[in-house]
Structure 1
Amino acid sequence: MELESVPGVGAKTAERLRELDDPEGALERGDVAAIARAPGVSEGRAARIARGAIRARHGDDTDVLATDRARELYRDALGLVQERAVTDYAARRLETFYPSASADRIAEAHEFTERAVERDPDEEVLAALDGVAPLDEPRDVRVRDRCLATTDAETFSKARAEFPELSVELVEDARGLADLARGYATVVALDEAFTGVEVEGDVRVEPTAFDDPVSVVPERALAFFARNRDRVRAAARVHAAAGLDAPLDVDAVDDALARLTEDGTVADDDELDRLTVAVDDLDAAVSMAESVANDRLREAIEERDVTIEGADLLSLVERGAGVDSLLDRELADEYADAVAAARDHLVDALSLSDHETLARTAFPDDPTFPVEADDRVTSKLREQLSAARDRRAARLKRDLAERLADLRGPAADLVDAALELDVELAVARFARDFACTMPTFEGRGFEIEGGRSPLLDVPFAEAEPVDYGVEGVAVLSGVNSGGKTSTLDLVGLVAVLAQMGLPVPAESARVERFEAVHYQAKSQGTLDAGAFEATLREFGALATGDAKRLVLVDELESITEPGASALIIAGILEALADSDSTAVFVSHLAGEIRDAAGIDVTVDGIEAVGLEDGELVVNRSPRKDHLARSTPELIVEKLAEADEGEADFYRDLLAKF
């Protein structure tokens, strides 16, 4: 699939998608998670791209939702399913389900749904899903103590593209390599020509670096798993709770992740911890060792009576000698003990083993007071400890990164499977919460049995089931507040959900595969001349052509005077009856419309069976070929049946109906 052939994918978006491992495959599958990994592509944007790719794959360029009210019904239907998703990803992924006119797309979505409704939305699984999210690619990884070096301009450009985490330098020869080694802890030479060249510092010659990026920049894999550790672990819990087969050894990845800190370094290594502490505490340990030596030496001096012959004192002065010579002569043993204590303290405090010899030379044998460590030695000790620490850390990083790099693909599959499970569970929960069934596509029009709308302002369990079906055109009559608009909403909702490939809230449902759903909501007041003309033009377009449409209209008579409305609606129904459309017009002018029409217009009625305590008692399922009585008629009938003085008056009124 060509990237630019997908609706909504321009040149810039296509360029971003090309950074994915398999962008064409991701689009072909409609894989929202994979598409969202492209830089700068949000989950919402990925869902729209995936939906466009699905449309392109099925050649589905028809917009089934032809009116604002139809689109509103779709948003309501989608929202009901999205509310049952745990993850934000699943809510976005559900946006790839849309009312389609393509039989192949509907069948594809139905196949997904039939699998989904078999899922068990277990509470333990839902709780585990709360921590799952799409894997995030860290794009802020920078390694500043390491660089790549090459003499070749083409290799330089390739390295900059392949290793954005590292600095890449052009050098002319080994001297340039040596200069870099003085500024970086590690230099990785990419040219085989540098093999065997001896340069002071940590210089590695790796001409195969492009084939083994983990050895060059292990921080890439470590940063990825550090950022996504909780998500991977949550996905593993989902698999365990749901009884799914994990695409990797969960214990192995959990053990590897346990060794990784939040900042992408390796934890739980005693030797690395020792070296890190030694570098960090070196100054403090040296200072304390000096104090140990000086305290002991001071104590020895205070406890010792030193007598100097006059001739000896004169000789010391003539030689310019000071206290050091005096210490060497009179307190040599005490000084040696004090220095030995300082050396032992330094070695013990920093747990120095490999560097003990160098550490002990930090305190010279030549007597001096106060005792002070040799700065040159401590500086060299720091360099050696730092180098040992960095080498240890680098080796541990490479070892752990190699383990994790092999798990990266399976970890992505693990998370993606958990996220897709959430999508399926959302559909399963929707189907269970609203007693849904899978619709069938056959015949003309629609037939709904035991349908209940979840959009009503009453708890779903209290909604009365409705049976209704229409082939061709019909007028739906009934009392005010009897449920005409709710029935129209139910029909539209069932049609929209069915063509989304989702289950519908009914005991059974048969629908025609419509190419468009036109739902004209009730107008708020009479329209002016311009708006009235525009409305007529819209119905004029509906009445022409051979498209299979579902036309739902709620009280069109409100757009103009009642007398004219009945004539207009009758004319529209006559035209729609000659087309492939299925139409239901809700109207209080059903009788007038039937009289004005030049065809036999089916009039169905939602019948009110009486009044109880001032409230209508209604049979919500429309009666076929029945003109329902109005609310005023029922009230007049009730009064006429009452044994009161005005009964004759009410009976006369009733006769007018």
Structure 2
Amino acid sequence: MTLKLNPEAREVYRAIREEIRKRLVLEGSSPLLDKFEPTGDVGELLRRRNYLREHLPTISPEIGEYLSRVRPIRFRRDYLHDRVLLVDGEELEAAEKLALCDVSTNPEEVEGYPLVLSTVGYGFDVELSPAEVAPELYIMPLWENRETLRALAIIGKLTGRESVAVRILRELEPLREVMEKRAALDGLEELVAEKERELNEKISEKLERFSLTLSGKELLEFLNELKEGNYEAIFSHFGRMEDEILNLINRAEDELSERLGLSVELFSREEIYPLAVPPERVEALRAELERQLKVELYMRSREILERVRNYIPALRKELSRVHELDFLLAVRRFTEGFVFPEFGEGVGFVNGRHLFIGNPQPVSYTVGRALELEGTAGERVVILTGANSGGKTSLLELITQVSVLAHMGLPVPAEKAVVEPLDEIFFFRRKRSAYGAGAFETALRSFVRALKGEGRKLILIDEFEAITEPGAAVKIIGELLKVAHEKGFYVVIVSHLGEDLKKELPFARVDGVEAKGLDEKLNLIVDRQPKFGRLGRSTPELIVERLARKKRGKEREIFERVLGAFRDSGPD
């Protein structure tokens, strides 16, 4: 049963929703707020309260850091052009329905594909299923989202349960070698160019050292050998150098082979300095690497999927649950220091704090039998009077906030609270710019609509008399409040006509927000905690006193005379 809210009360609800929504980390968590729309259904409120009482204490504040690292893991259904599925005629239709890769019934048509998958004993034997034909479509999203899996593992630890992500991460490790080769393939040109540069530097150093080690005598002997045609001795000098250079080349190619995972022979043995690898040789190496890696990635993915396939449904549940954890964390942050209200008659709270005022003065208040506060007797109709800028409107807002939060099933900003499950909440905020007959008629019709019908209603009205004449306001408000009293509705109305209304409404309680005086800077001192059952001292006298003390000369004399009139007549 949805709680009915008039536009101003619904605006309070929207503000609360927005405050919670701002604390959410993940996209997709907001819809969970819809499940906490205000309701007057006691059973539903109890269910929400029990759910939050059970789960909020388990939500560690540190979870937020790891929730922010979680990203959706989407298992794509791509069409793979690097493979062909070879089937017999009976399987052709089923294979084509998979829509994962090319399909053929002719072995001669599959030549040239890096991967030939077959159900008839040619190439890699497979069954007609996405997991067999394209296991990478499951495994690669897991590999690419390892940061999400690691975050899920930590979130699981913080919430006291082992995440399935721990096991998936462990099973993914054998894929690391393939992915390192893949990364090397992406930078193949740079890798070969770097190795070419290193080799040329080392060969240059060796040649330079060789020329410097020949002494003058050795150089003469070398020239004599050359003159006498003793080429064997000459070649022995250069042969040793050539062997050293070939060893450098072999070692460089061995390093590349180990890095790339296949035998590499790139560098020339004839023109050994300077070395330069032809581009076509690099392209040929790239083609061979790509072919080999496609096969290796397929085989590793198939093996890993066999081990992690049963974990994927649990992983999906965990990914879905992070939105729930995100919502719970946002609620916990928003309601830090709040309490769950009890059920009772009316609305009441002890040391309630306005949600949208910085460092607010805590205020206790009650309407109905919600709380037994000194000076109250369970009155359902209350007239709130007193100082301007004393917080009367803010108190109406606070009553609305507490009521709306309670009907959402959430904790409320107070030390203690009692809220009756209601059917409707009406909050009539004063419209400062609305005056005249039109505004009066609109407001009056709205109040009457709030009073019609039956049910459990809370009606909050802020200074109705501001849009009509004081004399007429007493009569109108008096009759409206009598109707509310007769129907058992809860009403709090802010009015400066408290003394007149009390004479008309013996069943109503009149509370007062009092201005205590002036501070040393002549600012008003206002106690925002209403005095129950007491008419509030208005501020005009204090404002006149402040002006009398600030002014000089003739102006001061006039203000002191007006102030004397207040003191002669007593408080209003």
On whether the aligned pair clears a TM of 0.5, the verdict is: yes
Q: How does 1:617-628 map to 2 (within 5 A)?
A: 617-628=525-536
C-alpha spacing 1:340/1:636, structure 2 compared with 1 (3 Å)? closer
Structure 1 residue aligned with 2:102: 169
Aligned equivalents of 1:389 and 1:344: distance in 2? 29
Aligned equivalents of 1:546 and 1:647: distance in 2? 49
Amino acid at match of 1:420: E
Aligned equivalents of 1:511 and 1:638: distance in 2? 41
Aligned equivalents of 1:422 and 1:412: distance in 2? 16
> Which string of whole-angstrom CA distances, capped at 9 and with x for unpartnered residues, describes residues 568-619 of structure 1?
2222222222324211111112233345x5x535132224263133444444
SS of equivalent to 1:547: coil
C-alpha spacing 1:374/1:232, structure 2 compared with 1 (3 Å)? closer
Q: How does 1:268-347 map to 2 (within 5 A)?
A: 281=192
Question: What residue ranges of structure 2 are gaps of 5+ in the alignment?
Answer: 208-224, 230-238, 271-275, 369-378, 549-558
- Offset of residue 548 of structure 1: 1.8
Pick from 290, 297, 300 the counterpart of residue 393 of structure 1. 297
Aligned equivalents of 1:593 and 1:86: distance in 2? 51
Structure 2 residue aligned with 1:216: 134
- Offset of residue 73 of structure 1: 1.5
- Offset of residue 377 of structure 1: 11
Amino acid at match of 1:71: R
Pick from 231, 247, 253 the counterpart of residue 350 of structure 1. 253
Aligned equivalents of 1:424 and 1:628: distance in 2? 42
Structure 2 residue aligned with 1:439: 341
Amino acid at match of 1:64: K
Q: Which moved more, 1:609-618 or 1:546-555?
A: 609-618
- Contact (CA 8 Å) 1:221, 1:401: kept in 2 or not? yes
> Which string of whole-angstrom CA distances, capped at 9 and with x for unpartnered residues, describes residues 30-73 of structure 1?
xxxxxxxxxxxxxxxxxxxxxxxxxxxxxx4x353222x21221
- Offset of residue 347 of structure 1: 6.3
Amino acid at match of 1:266: V
- Contact (CA 8 Å) 1:555, 1:587: kept in 2 or not? yes
Aligned equivalents of 1:304 and 1:656: distance in 2? 130
Aligned equivalents of 1:634 and 1:516: distance in 2? 39
> Which string of whole-angstrom CA distances, capped at 9 and with x for unpartnered residues, describes residues 163-212 of structure 1?
4xxxx33545334444xxx2x311334xx4xx145xxxxx43423334x3
> Which string of whole-angstrom CA distances, capped at 9 and with x for unpartnered residues, describes residues 67-89 of structure 1?
2x212212333344445555556
Q: How does 1:40-51 map to 2 (within 5 A)?
A: none
> Which string of whole-angstrom CA distances, capped at 9 and with x for unpartnered residues, describes residues 262-313 of structure 1?
xxx83357x997999699859x98xx99xx9xxx9xxxxxx98999xxxxxx
Between 1 and 2, higher relative CO (CA 8 Å, sep ≥ 6) is seen in: 2
Q: How does 1:636-651 map to 2 (within 5 A)?
A: 649-650=564-565
C-alpha spacing 1:147/1:585, structure 2 compared with 1 (3 Å)? farther
TM-score normalised by length of structure 2: 0.73
Aligned equivalents of 2:399 and 2:128: distance in 1? 65
Amino acid at match of 1:220: Y
Pick from 494, 498, 501 the counterpart of residue 402 of structure 2. 494
- Contact (CA 8 Å) 1:134, 1:416: kept in 2 or not? no
Amino acid at match of 2:138: R
Structure 2 residue aligned with 1:328: none
Aligned equivalents of 2:362 and 2:281: distance in 1? 90
- Contact (CA 8 Å) 2:165, 2:315: kept in 1 or not? no
Pick from 152, 155, 161 the counterpart of residue 245 of structure 1. 161
Pick from 62, 65, 81 the counterpart of residue 5 of structure 2. 65
Amino acid at match of 1:391: V
- Contact (CA 8 Å) 2:353, 2:362: kept in 1 or not? yes
C-alpha spacing 1:375/1:510, structure 2 compared with 1 (3 Å)? closer
Amino acid at match of 2:129: A
Count matched residues: 522
C-alpha spacing 1:654/1:615, structure 2 compared with 1 (3 Å)? farther
C-alpha spacing 1:128/1:388, structure 2 compared with 1 (3 Å)? same
Amino acid at match of 2:382: A
Structure 1 residue aligned with 2:363: 465
Aligned equivalents of 2:280 and 2:395: distance in 1? 91
- Contact (CA 8 Å) 2:85, 2:102: kept in 1 or not? yes
SS of equivalent to 2:404: helix
SS of equivalent to 1:583: strand
Aligned equivalents of 1:532 and 1:651: distance in 2? 31
SS of equivalent to 1:428: helix
Aligned equivalents of 1:382 and 1:342: distance in 2? 26
TM-score normalised by length of structure 1: 0.64
Does 2:342 align with 1:424?
A: no
Identity in percent: 25
SS of equivalent to 1:144: strand
Does 2:130 align with 1:207?
A: no
- Offset of residue 483 of structure 1: 1.9
Does 2:178 align with 1:266?
A: yes
- Offset of residue 515 of structure 1: 1.5
Amino acid at match of 1:476: L
Aligned equivalents of 1:389 and 1:304: distance in 2? 53
> Which string of whole-angstrom CA distances, capped at 9 and with x for unpartnered residues, describes residues 524-549 of structure 1?
23434444333332222222111322
Aligned-residue Cα RMSD (Å) equals 5.2
Aligned equivalents of 1:86 and 1:374: distance in 2? 52
Aligned equivalents of 2:141 and 2:164: distance in 1? 20
Does 2:15 align with 1:76?
A: yes
SS of equivalent to 1:438: coil
Structure 1 residue aligned with 2:516: 610
C-alpha spacing 1:157/1:475, structure 2 compared with 1 (3 Å)? farther
SS of equivalent to 2:529: coil
- Contact (CA 8 Å) 2:351, 2:364: kept in 1 or not? yes
- Contact (CA 8 Å) 2:386, 2:537: kept in 1 or not? yes
Amino acid at match of 2:146: R
- Offset of residue 405 of structure 1: 4.2
C-alpha spacing 1:186/1:450, structure 2 compared with 1 (3 Å)? same
- Offset of residue 514 of structure 1: 1.2
- Offset of residue 386 of structure 1: 5.2
Structure 1 residue aligned with 2:462: 554
Amino acid at match of 1:113: L
Does 2:338 align with 1:453?
A: no
> Which string of whole-angstrom CA distances, capped at 9 and with x for unpartnered residues, describes residues 421-468 of structure 1?
4433433344434xx21111233x2122222223224x14xx133233
SS of equivalent to 1:519: strand
Amino acid at match of 1:396: R
Amino acid at match of 1:440: E
SS of equivalent to 1:578: helix
